[in-house]
Structure formats: C-alpha cells, structure tokens
Amino acid sequence: MANEGGARRTISRFLASRAGITLVGLFIGVVAPLLQHAGNPPNMGLCVACFERDTAGALGLHRAAVVQYLRPEIIGFVLGALVSALLFREFKPRGGSAPIVRFLLGVFAAVGALAFLGCPWRALLRLSGGDGNALVGLAGLVAGVSLGALFLRRGYTLGRSSPATPLSGLVLPAVMLLFLGLVAFRVSFGKDAAIFFSEKGPGSMHASLHVSLAAGLGIGMLAQRSRFCTMGAIRDAVLLRDVHLLSGVMTLIVAAFATNLALGQFKAGFAAMPIAHSNHLWNFLGMALSGLAFALAGGCPGRQLFLSGEGDGDAAVFVCGMIVGAAFAHNFFLAGAPDVLDKVTGALTVGGVGRYGRVAILAGLAFCFLLGLTARRKA
C-alpha cells in the first residue's frame, strides 16, 4: 500500500513538472493529427467546440445534417479524467457557484468558437496544419483571455463552490457512459428521430470508435493530472508571468506541425482552408468572445470537461451551456460559414459570419464585459 501511494505521488510530481506538461503537450500534438489521418475532419483531429456541436446534432438539438455524430473523444475526456481523479484521490464533488451565469458563459463561448470554426485546441491544430487564419483567431483568444485576466486582477469572482454529494459529481460521467452506449450500438429511436449520424460532411468523417475513445481516455487522464489548459496558459503568462502551462501548449504546436508534415497533411495558406473562413474581423472577434468567456468561467473547453470528470458540477454546467450554445449557433444561423472555392472557375467565395451571428457575438462580448465589471469581491 505504501509503495502504491509512493508511485502515485511520483507520477503526480512528474506530470505537474515542466517536463510533465511538455510530455502531455507532445502527446496531444501527435495524437490529434493521427486522429485526422484515421478519419477525423481536416485540421480537426481534436476540437472540443466542434465535437460538442456534432454531439448536439446527434441528439437532435439542431438539424444541420452534416454535423451530427456522438464524438467518442468528448466521452473519453470526461471518463479519462474521472478514472485519473479516482486513482489519484482527487474526485471531489462540488458545485453551486453561479450556475446560470456559467451556463450562459458556455453558450457564448460556443457561439464565439463556432463563428471562428474551432475551439482553442483547433486553432492550434489549424496553425500546425498551415492555416494562417488561425493566427487571427489566436490573437483574438489572447485578447479575450487578457481582458479576463484584467478583470481577475481587479477582483472578479463568481463565488466559491461548495462540497456536494458523490452522486452529483457522477452525473455528467454517467451521461457520457450513456452516450457511449448510444454511439457504440448506433441506437435510433425511430424514423427521423435521434440518434442522428451524418451521412456526409464533417459529421460523417471520424476515426473508428475504439481509436477515438482510446485517444480521448488517454488525453483525459494525462490532462487531468497535469492541469493542461490553453486558457490557463495565456492567463498565467499575462497575470503571473508564469509559462509553465504555456510550455505544454507550445510543445503541442511543434509536435502537431511535425506530425502533419510526416503524414503529408500540412498545407499553408489563408483562402479556402479546410472548414475555415478568411473573414479576419469575425475570426478575431469570435475567438475574443470565447477567450473572455473561458477566462471568466475558469478554464478552456477541454479543461471544463476534465474538471467535470473530477466531480466539478460548475464545469459540467459550462459544458452543458456549450452544447446548447452549439445547437443555438446552427438553429439560429450564428455559426461561421467556410470559404468556398469553385473548382471549375477558381473563384473564391469568402465565408464568415452572417448578421445574426455578428449580433450574437457583440451581445456576448457585452454580457461578458458587464459580468467582468460587476461580479467582484466585496471589500
């Protein structure tokens, strides 16, 4: 028993170290392009916002037929984090910190990410695959997180979570187990009823269930132990001049770039990149909204899934908000449209965000800014 406890402490110390977070970044940076090679969409080996959108579609929360699939990677993130938290005695059910506010932050985070067509992880993977538009999105992400860091410095808080019952901490993992059964057996509840599976488009492009789930479980376990978080990396660099988490993010980019080169998946450019648009203003503003929402909620979308596996009910509420927000984005035409290149004439139609999406982004920025100003500690 003593040896077992010592082994846990050794692993925890390593994964919490600079070498450990670098190893986790290396692992994700290699696995994500491999998932693309195994069948996931181009420059979308991993994308939490996109995969939650596909999950929402599979459940019938939106009816965009090309983006409907219960993504096993999302399931693996939560279950892998749960396994890690139980093994290392960090499963601590908690919640009750401004749930409706966190839900709305999740909604607006999804709207912003789908305006850009990707979460922070996909922005990094798009960059490593040669998509120059990712630079604009990452600039917006840094701007949004930096503004959130300023609010944190000025005393922003949503209050403390309170301990909760073990059952409450297991709700989202249990839902993910249900989703796993639905996708594994391709359950259908009747003609024109969920569960939906895309027959064409990005939703129809996926690695096998076993490969996707294994990747998600591995990343969930490692990221839970190492505290890997793209938003946290930017926040810590801005607030504390601490680049510990940032070293893992930078390693991810380098590893994904090298893997894409090795697999022949690297293609540099701005126009008509895979599932992307080159409308720079709304790329920037969409990710600025997401970055600000992530900072105010306390973690990027991947981190929120890992926290949910630890029993954090507040993170689970944010995850539910993102899934609903992704459904809203497609039901109300808020999501970005990709560039379209006519293969015959070579004419390029630049995509971007329609007027409803622009209004939603500006409304989200206003909500987050007002929240950052008013949700502060009392003296």
pLDDT band per the 50, 70, 90 thresholds, residue 4: low
Mean pLDDT confidence for 96-108: 97
Among residues 33, 57, 67, 59, the alpha carbon closest in space to that of 338 is found at: 67
Mean pLDDT confidence for 84-106: 96
Mean pLDDT confidence for 174-188: 97
**Alpha helices in 129-208, H assignment, sequence order:** 133-153, 166-169, 171-184
148 token code pair: 């959130």
pLDDT value of position 8: 84
Mean pLDDT confidence for 305-320: 98
Query: Is the full-model pTM beyond 0.95?
Result: yes
Q: Has residue 275 got a pLDDT over 90?
A: yes
Q: Has residue 1 got a pLDDT over 60?
A: no
Q: Has residue 353 got a pLDDT over 70?
A: yes
Among residues 376, 345, 332, 348, the alpha carbon closest in space to that of 114 is found at: 332
Mean pLDDT confidence for 246-275: 97
Round the average pLDDT of the chain to a whole number and report it. Answer: 96
pLDDT value of position 356: 98
For β-strands 348-349 and 94-95, DSSP reports them as: unpaired
List, in order, residues 6 or more apart from 23 with CB less than 8 Å away.
15, 222
Spatial distance between the Cα atoms of 299 and 303, rounded to a whole number of angstroms: 5
Among residues 47, 15, 50, 21, the alpha carbon closest in space to that of 33 is found at: 47
What is the distance in angstroms between the CA of the first residue and the CA of the last residue of the chain? 47
**Alpha helices in 240-300, H assignment, sequence order:** 244-263, 280-297
pLDDT band per the 50, 70, 90 thresholds, residue 209: very high
